[in-house]
Each structure stands twice: as C-alpha cells, then as structure tokens.
Amino acid sequence: MFDWDLLRGTTGVLVMTQLAQERGVPAAAVLAGTSLSLEAVQDPDREITARDELTVVRNLLGRCGGEPGLGVAAGSRNAMSLSGSWGLALLSSRTPREAVGVAVRYVGHTFAFGRLRFSESGGEARLVLDDQGVPEDVRPFLAERAMTGMQMIGRELFATDVLARRIAFRRTAPADISRYLAVFGIQPVFGAAVDEIVFDSAYLDAPLPQATEWARSTCENLCRALLARRQARGGVAGAVRDLLVRDPGEVPDQAAVATELFMSSRTLSRRLNEEGTSFRALLDEVRQLLSEQLLDHTDMTTEQVAARLGYAEAASFIRAFRRWQGVPPQEYRARGPRANARAELDATARRTRPEPEFAAARECLDPAAS
C-alpha cells in the first residue's frame, strides 16, 4: 500500500498550480484543503506529504480534468525539476541499468504515486507502475504523469531518448492523443492490464553519453550549495572545488584541474598552499559530502558509492570514510540521517562558534536532546 504520509518535494504541486493558473484557475483554488500557500510550494527546500499532494490533484481534476493528456502535460514539466540526492544518484549513473535501479528505489519520493517494478525477459525490459492503494478517481492522471516523467528523465539527463517498444495505460483512450504521441513517439495502448513502458533491454548496459548541460549544472549547483553550507571557499580553492563537482561520477585529478585553470600542477599546489589548503584536502571535502548524501538518502551499496566517487576499489573508500567520520560507511548509515546531521552540527559548533549558539538548532534535530 502507498504511504500517504511519505514526505516529498513540492515540485509536483508547483507544476499543478502553474497548470491551473494557465487555465484561469487561481492558485488558492487548487491549493484549497491543504495548509499550503503559493509561497510554500515555490520553496525548493519545503517538504509536503503525499496526502496534501493528492488533495491538490483532486482540486486540479475538479477544474480541468476533462482536458485530454493533462497528466502528460504535468509529467513533462515535473521531469525538468530534478534535484536533491535522488537526482545526484541518477546523474552519476554510468549505465541505464544503474539509472533504472535508482528510479525504482526512489521515484516514490518524487513524481510517482506508487512503486515501480522492473523486469527483463525475451530481450525486453519493463517498467510497471504499481499504484495499489491509489484512489481510482486520480489513477489515470497520476499514471500519465509518472510514465511521462520517466520518459523525460532519459531525454533531459542523457541527451538521448530510450525509444519505447510499447507504452500502455489502463485508462480508456481519450478523445485526443496528440500529447502522448509527442512525448512517447508511438501510439499508446489504452485499456491495458497495467501501466507500463517496455523497451529493448539492449539499452540497459550501454555506457550513458555525457549528461546534458542542464543536468550537469543542476548537479553542480546542488553540490556547490551543500559544500557552501559546510564551508565557504573563494579564490583558487573555490575554483578547484567547483571543478571537482562539475561532472558526477567523473572526478578529475590534479593535473586535469590545473590545466582547466591554465596553470601547472606545481603552481596549483603553491597557490592552494598559500590559501591554507591542498588539492587532497579539497578532494576529500567533495568526496566526503557526496558520500554522506548518498549514504543518508539512498540505499546504494558501499561498492556503488565508492565507484560513484571515483575509487578503484571499495576498500580505499572505506578507509577514507573512516578517516573522515571515525566510523565505516555501514555504521554511519546505521545511525540514520538525523543523528548524522546532529553530529555534524556539533562538530561545526566546536570548530566555529561557542556551544550555546547551536542549542536551538540541535533541539530542532532532536528535541529529546534538550
């Protein structure tokens, strides 16, 4: 059954609000019955429950539900707002198989209501939307949105379409299917037994091409913001750190970074030393942050995280992580994100400010601590 208290970002609600406004429906009308305001759904850091989003879906359908392909229109826009650790894991995938694995595990936190099931047989790969527990009145819209979102991810992330062999919907055929044809490139099957996308399994293990510039900048901006919260850096050190997060899964070495900055490796080392740091220290900052995000917010294995960070073997990553955190990755993950965030806050307090200034923030993370 679907968890209606599952927390998710506001992107889906923001898209539906925009669709409603474009059709002459005020934002207040589509947000009615929730505690959300237009300002709240525009906040990228805000989280809402799936229950609140369901209310917005029903409000939108009550006003605009007769429009063919409305879920396709919503799904096309949702895919353009990839962010967060889920997006980071997708962007650093090396093959479509890895990307599918990420999508199957975490799509419920984004634009889908339900779960994805993946299977392979007879040269075909199938992604089936399992929306058991989702009310009948919203299923067609939500299935359209989810299927479209998955199609758009491949297009926007990897600058290529994985051409579907078949796209199927349980809903009856609408009067106008032009939106479906524009997104999927083939005519869907309506009245099917399941909502699914079927494609050639030969795509799964081919190396993914370079991500689009939009996808790269999305990931880079996310990483830069996270790093800045921990420790702001300017000068040459800031430029080096920006280069280290530019391409997910592709960590450049010192020689490559020096070339990008139009200087020799020796000069780069000297300039960083003058700023009180080193290339190794900056690389550690980036790898530590990304490893924490992936361990806290995904269920990727230690080996998978190590590969994403450019380590040739997991043992090297485990040694480095123990040096950063004092514990191996498995123990860090077992503590949970809230405990890890509280530990980071305490460490920051010890490094930078008197302890009392952090009491309120620590209480927010763990009220029992006070």
Residue 354, in any domain of the structure: no
pLDDT beyond 70 at 137: yes
Examine the domain organization and report whether 198 and 253 are in the same domain.
no
pLDDT at 112: 84
pLDDT beyond 90 at 45: no
pLDDT beyond 80 at 26: yes
Examine the domain organization and report whether 61 and 73 are in the same domain.
no
Residue 366, in any domain of the structure: no
What is the DSSP secondary-structure string of 227-294? HHHH----HHHHHHHHHHTSSTT----HHHHHHHTTS-HHHHHHHHHHTT--HHHHHHHHHHHHHHHH
Residue 365, in any domain of the structure: no
pLDDT at 190: 97
- Of 18, 44, 65, which marks where a domain is finished? 65
pLDDT at 346: 52
Model pLDDT for residues 298-355, shown as the tens digit of each residue: 767 898 888 878 888 999 999 999 999 999 999 998 887 555 555 554 554 444 444 4
Residue 172 host element (H or E): none
Comparing 287 with 231, the larger pLDDT belongs to: 287
Residue 348, in any domain of the structure: no
pLDDT at 162: 61
pLDDT beyond 80 at 250: no
Distances from the Cα of 35 to the Cαs of 50, 60, 63, 153, in angstroms?
13, 16, 20, 30
pLDDT beyond 70 at 174: yes
pLDDT at 205: 84
- Of 185, 211, 237, which marks where a domain is finished? 211
Examine the domain organization and report whether 85 and 55 are in the same domain.
no
- Of 191, 211, 231, which marks where a domain is finished? 211
What average pLDDT score do residues 92-101 get? 78
Position 248 confidence tier, pLDDT thresholds 50, 70, 90:
low
Comparing 90 with 57, the larger pLDDT belongs to: 57
Query: Which of 58-67, 263-272, 338-347, 349-358 bottoms out in mean pLDDT, i.e. has the lowest?
Result: 349-358
Residue 33, in any domain of the structure: yes
Those residues whose C-beta lies under 8 Å from the C-beta of residue 49, and which sit 6 or more positions away, are: 4, 5, 6, 7, 8
Examine the domain organization and report whether 144 and 73 are in the same domain.
yes
Q: Which residues span the domain enclosing 99?
A: 69-211
Examine the domain organization and report whether 206 and 74 are in the same domain.
yes
Structure pTM?
A: 0.66
Examine the domain organization and report whether 180 and 167 are in the same domain.
yes
Examine the domain organization and report whether 148 and 196 are in the same domain.
yes
Examine the domain organization and report whether 189 and 224 are in the same domain.
no
What is the DSSP secondary-structure string of 317-353? HHHHHHHHHSS-HHHHHHH-HHHHHHHHHHHHHHHHS
Residue 251, in any domain of the structure: yes
Examine the domain organization and report whether 130 and 190 are in the same domain.
yes
CATH classification at residue 321: 1.10.10.60
Residue 279, in any domain of the structure: yes
pLDDT beyond 50 at 158: yes
Query: Degrees (nearest 5) of the Cα angle 291, 295, 298?
Result: 120
Examine the domain organization and report whether 52 and 110 are in the same domain.
no
Examine the domain organization and report whether 207 and 219 are in the same domain.
no
CA 179/CA 250 separation, integer angstroms = 36
Position 360 confidence tier, pLDDT thresholds 50, 70, 90:
very low
pLDDT at 363: 42
Q: What is the mean pLDDT of the chain?
A: 82
Residue 302, in any domain of the structure: yes
Examine the domain organization and report whether 121 and 4 are in the same domain.
no
CA 177/CA 285 separation, integer angstroms = 50
Task: Report how many domains make up the chain.
Answer: 3
